[in-house]
Amino acid sequence: MRAKDGKRLRLLFQTSINAPRQKTQAIVKQAAAKIGIEVEVKAVVPAVYFSTDPANADTLAHFTADLQMYSLVNGSPDPQLFLQPFVSWEIAQKENKWAGRNSTRWRHDDYDRMYKAAETEMDPVKRAALFIRMNDMLVQTPVIVPFMWRGTASAVANRLRGTEISGWDSTFWNLAHWYREA
């Protein structure tokens, strides 16, 4: 077991109760044990973990563990909303009743500047370059460790038409154009 000054290296890893998340916790715990790190796993009821109750320390926003797992979903091809949870003015803290989206409480002035610049940048190539640099900052620092992509499955009836699937939007992006062939 890894230790320093007689204190063992021990991490608390929390997430919501969900079978794939508990499997991921088990894999991380097992891998960490192989290199001498003890990981305690904690599974919180989703209604609590994802709640906005400022008095409950088991919420995602409080982030009282060493590690936590959750999904970031971007329903748009534009990455701005996906990158917003890491700006400093979104830091979840007591002063804003834990309502901020930045549960990591990471702060970087350059990231904030790039985000603000991207909000008004009209050149799509320059804007994309800002987002790429911001994303690189997040994974190289590391603020977040992206390790799982949850794909979705869709199915439609064989007589349903107008259901083209988009790689950039939800399955229902053109629902108004769906019809059933007789």
Domains of the chain, each with CATH number or no CATH: 1-70 (3.40.50), 72-151 (no CATH), 152-182 (no CATH)
Who contacts 108 (Cβ-Cβ below 8 Å, separation ≥6)? 88, 137, 141
User: Structure pTM?
Assistant: 0.76
Q: Which two tokens stand for residue 12?
A: 């608390």
Beta bridge partners of 7: 4
pLDDT tens for 107-154 read 999 999 999 999 999 999 999 999 999 999 999 988 888 776 666 666
pLDDT at 171: 75
> Which region, left, alpha or beta, applies to residue 5 given φ > 0 means left and ψ of -120 to 50 means alpha?
left
**Cα atoms in the Cβ-side hemisphere of radius 13 Å centred on 141:** 15
The Cα-based distances of 149 to 8, 60, 84, 168 in angstroms read 32, 19, 19, 15
- What contacts 24+ positions apart, CB below 8 Å, involve 153-156? none
Q: How far apart are CA 48 and CA 130, in angstroms?
A: 35
